[in-house]
Structure 1
Amino acid sequence: MFSAVRPSLPALLRFARTPSIGRSIVTLLAGAILLLLAVNVATFVMIQRTVAFNDQVERSQQVRGAAGALLISLVDAETGQRGFLLTGRPEFLAPYNRAETSVPEQMAELERLTAGDPQLEAHVAVMLEASRDKLAELERSVALSRTGRIGEAVQLVRSGQGRALMDTIRAQIGAIDEIEMVRLESRTRQSEYGSGLTLWANALGGLLVVVLAGIMIWLVRRYIGEIQEARDTLDRMNAGLETQVRDRTAQLTLARDRAEAMLREVNHRVGNSLQLVSSFMSLQLRHLADDGARSALKEAQARIEAVAHVHRRLYTSDDMTSVAMDEYLEGLVAELGQSLAPGAGAPTLSLQAQPLNVSTDQAVSIGVIVAELVTNAVKYAYRPGQGGEIRIRLEPDARARRALLTVEDDGPGLGDAKPKGTGLGGRIVSALAAGLGSKVEYDPDYAGVRARLAFDL
């Protein structure tokens, strides 16, 4: 192609020296450049507005999420308080104790997200004041109950003050949601308007460029048809490549955003579905009298909880390709403690986990392995009512990019060097460990049972 253009250069120079044709070419080129510049500026402005809109949407989601999390924590705290008042059992205060730590952090996060926003600050201020009053009301009732003044605590609950505060909090959250939804609708309309305007500007600019190019082609073909033909070919190729690159980039970006949104929604739905299955199992447990059936159902529930906890972690995390094992195991061990070893005299579960990130598939396998080993320890390590401790540790191996998981108890040991039970849990553990490229090893020199699993990060 360049060999065909080279012999036509002298003719191109003569063409440029022609006054009328040269001025027309320059004018048309200047007009085309200005049009392309205008289209590019409009596209750039639209991209910036889209980025700003996405930031605003993310912020709105964060505000609504923070407000919802605060409400959930307060509801959990109130549930724990009610359970404690009704039963007098301290373990019912676990949600209340967690809320004492999480609620101030959530209130601070909500204040940070709405700082400088006059519309939201007023509602947030009322909601935070009501939240503080609610925590104070819960604290007073719990303190009264702990000192034996149950009647006063119940009277405080019956006064309706707590319910009024919760209604105020819900009303403010509803107002915040309404403000954010109105904003989102307004911003969506603005974005759609801007997108339409940019589309029309691009179409008009492209049309005018085509018209100008046609006029240029008509003028040039009068004098140097061969050069113009080569130039037209190059122009069409460049225009086609730019359009393909731009369209492909837009398609890839849209596909990526949709994939991330769909993956987040899938994790949310899977986590909810698994939690629903676990809840059904809890209901079924209440109607089973057979100890073997109850034990099997509890083991299955622990496995489901291990998988569900991963999906809940992925739904609330910005990174959906890896799981922070220290946070994941903390939540999983807490759930196992509530489902497998509740009440006085049951073994206690302790966790020491250093911050490590693993893939989602590894997290599922490790979670189920922990659930199986802990379940086995709860069943066989200690006699009913004996108490005791089951320790879970996760630490990096300094010698290589590996991690070491240890689950141990102070029970009587394996005895015949074989895990007890039906063997299903052992087969599950072996299969999952093999999937991690490893196996679970039992320490024969340890007085109780110590299971270790080393796996690559």
Structure 2
Amino acid sequence: MPISKNALVRSTVLFLLLGLAALLAIVGAMVWLVNETAVNSNNLIKARSERAALITLRGLGQDAETGQRGYLLTNNPDYLAPYNDAKSKFPAQMDKVQAAFDDEPAQATLAARLRETMTAKFAELETTIELAKNGQRDEALAIVNADRGRELMDEARAFFDRAIEKADQTVLDSIARQQRGIDMLRWVTFLGALVIIGVVGGSIWTVWQYTRQLVEAQREVAVLNADLERRVNERTADLGRANEEIQRFAYIVTHDLRAPLVNIMGFTSELEASLGALQDYVGEATAPTGGAAAAAETDKAEAARLAAFEELPEAIGFIRSSTRKMDGLINAILKLSREGRRTLKPETIDLQGLLENAANAVRHQVVDAGGEVVIDGRPPALLSDRLTLEQIFGNLLDNAVKYRSKDRPLRVRIEAGVGPGNTVVVRVEDNGRGIAPQDHERIFELFRRSGSQDQAGEGIGLAHVRSMARNIGGDVGVQSELGTGSTFEITFARDLRSVIGAI
């Protein structure tokens, strides 16, 4: 399908908008992923910080408890090193744990409870160690065996386990969300890339098509330029042919219109002569009569009778016949003149239907004569002047009926198809009485007829057909043999606009 300049602009804008939409989608997805990554990274860092603080605090409690047990079992002060280290680090580490849960009210409450628990645990450890240092080892062991310290440590461990598990889950959730974001970005990038590739490909294809059309147009222009001289020569030949037709028409008009005038002049002379005889008779009707005079009077009376009853009516009849002929010729000329001035109106035409209508107009005459009308071929769709085509085919079919052979039933065959150079060719074939070879061109001349003149007409039908065919960018020709039938071939432009535009 040809691409116009407007279509190229629209396609280019559309492709640019699609490409921009794809880029915006990719950029939007990347911005969203960056934000999600930032949120997930913050959650991940926070969860890991919480986890590390909890594990460290739990380790301090375990180290302090291990140091206490070692000292109580061995009474060796070296075992107090882990306890002393844990005791010194506990307050700061506990502050870190609480700070990590400041933005989580529920966890902050539990962290405060953990501080109380761990403080009580360290107080219990310190009490037992101090009793042992003072030689009250049994009292210290009694406090240990009371399981108060174990209960505090179990409570602390339960908090540590829940908090660490929650931090681990937060880490896993952040990693999963980040992975989903990466997958989404991958798909958006992939689909966006496909759209951009499609946009680029579509743009390239559109530009290539438009460029190819430009190249073809330039090639056609070059061909037209190269063919311009030939077309000018053809137009010159057409003008020459038209000039010849005008000259021939002028000759025919002057010749054929002169003949009735000569007849009128001749019979007018006869009327004058006859009028003289009547005048002589009337003028001498009152003269004296005698023997010789009576004989002369009788001769004049006979001459007057002949003039009144034979010569004058005959002359008047010929004059009337000549004037009727002249009137018919003048009317025919006026008809051709009006048809030549008519404006052609191109319209879409169903040639099959038009031919069927033309055939139906004469079918009853053909059927009455025992014949038939057949339409063959596949008439193409065309753009032409309907009235011109109706007159052309109506005239040809009327002639086929008018000049049919009396010895056989009439057979009319119409065949339509596509001709060379975007033209339409229609053949109208009949088995009528035919046309002699020397009359094949003569029948297309104005007021010229072929064969016996046993049918009414002025001899303008086929001249009119050729004129109309040439008006719609075509011509008409005939192939015929006397006694076997005729085939008229009409060629005309399939698109009348090309003919009107070339005029």
Q: Tell me the TM-score normalised to structure 1 length.
A: 0.43
Q: Tell me the TM-score normalised to structure 2 length.
A: 0.39
Based on CA coordinates, which of the two structures has the bigger radius of gyration? 2
